[in-house]
């Protein structure tokens, strides 16, 4: 199993809309947005814009600890609804092909406790340990270690773990919430892409292999004979693993594959908490309802 290299770059028009509807007025709100695609190998953003209704009174852009573009916002107008819209055009190039059997033994990918003064190793350190949403237990670690037999090539072992999550866990959007612990996901054997990414991160970090949580979008397809519905594409999450000699390699446990040109990267961090697309604090609001719609549309130069 290798990444594709024969496909040309794909150009996309990406649209992401999040609607918050509150049961009581919000007097003031503060938000942190991870909605601008980060510069990354194989992905180039041509244009991008994030708009909010009502418009924020204060807006500041910066780069976070992990290198992701972020925006800090304050909305001072009273409101019962908040609409956040992101839209832009970008190109995605297929990752290079790698022979999993030719990658170094997984033991050489470990950095836990490493004292090697290598900038690449040091940069991987934050992704080698438990984070708030990847805390696990011995049952999960023991289960993950079955993929990491002595001397096994690291990408071969990681692909095996990727497949075991796909084969052994059921995709079920009703089974978990954004805060469901890894140990509970492992117990019930079901969840969504965020859960499967956190489970894979817990397993990899349990054996000392550094791995990142990646937030982004996934191009989807209509059922045979059907039409693609507007807003039907998906916010998605997957995992990126450091493979010595090859940099960071992205895998999608929800779909049992290495990432392709169908994956659009927004941000990466230790877990979902580092890269949540929209989060913040509000005064008032009561109960609230959230609706998200995503469109990832391949375009030609003529249609752009």
Q: In this structure, are 17 and 112 located in the same domain?
A: no
What tokens does 235 get? Answer: 């916010």
Residue 138, domain member (yes or no)? yes
- For 156-173, write each residue's pLDDT tens digit: 999 999 999 999 999 999
The pLDDT score that the predictor gives to residue 304 is 43
The pLDDT score that the predictor gives to residue 165 is 98
Q: In this structure, are 174 and 39 located in the same domain?
A: no
The pLDDT score that the predictor gives to residue 8 is 84
Q: In this structure, are 285 and 268 located in the same domain?
A: no
The pLDDT score that the predictor gives to residue 4 is 45
Q: In this structure, are 219 and 294 located in the same domain?
A: no
Q: In this structure, are 225 and 292 located in the same domain?
A: no
Burial class (CB in 10 A: 0-12, 13-18, 19+), 121: middle
Q: How far apart are CA 283 and CA 195, in angstroms?
A: 30
pTM: 0.92
Q: In this structure, are 124 and 216 located in the same domain?
A: yes
Q: How far apart are CA 172 and CA 242, in angstroms?
A: 29
- For 10-20, write each residue's pLDDT tens digit: 999 999 999 99
The pLDDT score that the predictor gives to residue 302 is 46
The pLDDT score that the predictor gives to residue 232 is 54
Residue 189, domain member (yes or no)? yes
Q: In this structure, are 48 and 78 located in the same domain?
A: yes
Q: What is the CATH number of the domain that holds 176?
A: 3.10.620.30
Closest CA to 211 of 202, 223, 222: 202
Closest CA to 167 of 44, 254, 62: 254
Q: In this structure, are 53 and 159 located in the same domain?
A: no
Q: How far apart are CA 104 and CA 131, in angstroms?
A: 26
Q: What is the CATH number of the domain that holds 281?
A: 2.60.40.2250
Residue 303, domain member (yes or no)? no
Residue 4, domain member (yes or no)? no
The pLDDT score that the predictor gives to residue 220 is 86
Count the domains in the chain: 2
The pLDDT score that the predictor gives to residue 246 is 95
The pLDDT score that the predictor gives to residue 2 is 43
Q: How far apart are CA 251 and CA 253, in angstroms?
A: 6
What tokens does 296 get? Answer: 């990832």
Do residues 252 and 1 make contact, with C-beta atoms less than 8 angstroms apart? no
Residue at token pair 């954004």: 178
Q: In this structure, are 75 and 37 located in the same domain?
A: yes
111 is in which domain, residue-wise?
A: 100-275
Residue 202, domain member (yes or no)? yes
The pLDDT score that the predictor gives to residue 3 is 43
| Positive or negative torsion for Cα 128, 132, 33, 240 | positive
What does each of the 304 residues of the chain score in pLDDT, given as a tens digit?
444 455 789 999 999 999 999 999 999 999 999 999 998 889 999 999 999 999 999 999 999 999 999 999 999 999 999 999 999 999 999 999 999 999 999 999 998 655 556 788 888 999 999 999 999 899 999 999 999 999 999 999 999 999 999 999 999 999 999 999 999 999 999 999 999 999 999 999 999 999 999 999 999 887 676 666 555 577 899 999 999 999 999 999 999 999 999 999 999 999 999 999 999 999 999 999 999 999 999 997 644 4
The pLDDT score that the predictor gives to residue 41 is 86
Residue 18, domain member (yes or no)? yes
The secondary structure of 2-49, three-state, reads: CCCCCCCCEEEEEEEEEEEEEEEEEEEEEEEECCCCCCECCEEEEEEE
What tokens does 143 get? Answer: 């289960």
Closest CA to 38 of 12, 15, 66: 66
Q: In this structure, are 293 and 187 located in the same domain?
A: no
Q: In this structure, are 86 and 58 located in the same domain?
A: yes
Q: In this structure, are 50 and 110 located in the same domain?
A: no
């Amino acid at each position: 199993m290798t990444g594709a290299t024969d496909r040309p770059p794909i150009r996309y028009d990406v649209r992401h809309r999040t609607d918050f509807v509150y049961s009581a007025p919000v007097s003031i709100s503060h938000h942190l947005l991870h909605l601008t695609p980060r510069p990354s190998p194989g992905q180039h953003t041509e244009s991008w814009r994030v708009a909010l209704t009502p418009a924020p009174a204060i807006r500041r852009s910066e780069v976070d600890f992990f290198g992701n573009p972020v925006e800090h916002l304050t909305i001072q107008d009273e409101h019962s609804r908040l609409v956040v819209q992101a839209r832009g055009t970008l190109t995605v190039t297929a990752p290079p092909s790698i022979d999993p059997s030719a990658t170094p033994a997984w033991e050489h990918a470990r950095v836990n406790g490493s004292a090697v003064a290598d900038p690449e190793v040091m940069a991987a350190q934050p992704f080698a340990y438990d984070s708030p949403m990847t805390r696990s237990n011995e049952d999960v670690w023991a289960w993950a270690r079955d993929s990491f037999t002595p001397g096994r090539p690291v990408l071969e072992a990681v692909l095996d773990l990727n497949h075991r999550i796909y084969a052994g866990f059921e995709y079920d959007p009703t089974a978990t919430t954004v805060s469901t612990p890894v140990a509970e996901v492992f117990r019930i054997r079901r969840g969504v892409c965020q859960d499967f990414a956190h489970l894979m991160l817990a397993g990899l970090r349990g054996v000392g292999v550094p791995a990142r949580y990646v937030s982004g979008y996934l191009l989807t397809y209509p059922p045979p004979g059907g039409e693609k519905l507007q807003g039907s594409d998906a916010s998605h999450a997957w995992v990126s693993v450091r493979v010595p000699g090859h940099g960071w390699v992205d895998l999608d446990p929800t779909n049992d594959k290495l990432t392709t040109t169908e994956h659009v990267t927004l941000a990466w961090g230790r877990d979902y908490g580092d890269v949540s697309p929209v989060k913040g604090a509000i005064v008032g609001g009561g109960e609230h309802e959230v609706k998200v719609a995503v469109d990832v549309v391949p375009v030609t130069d003529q249609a752009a």
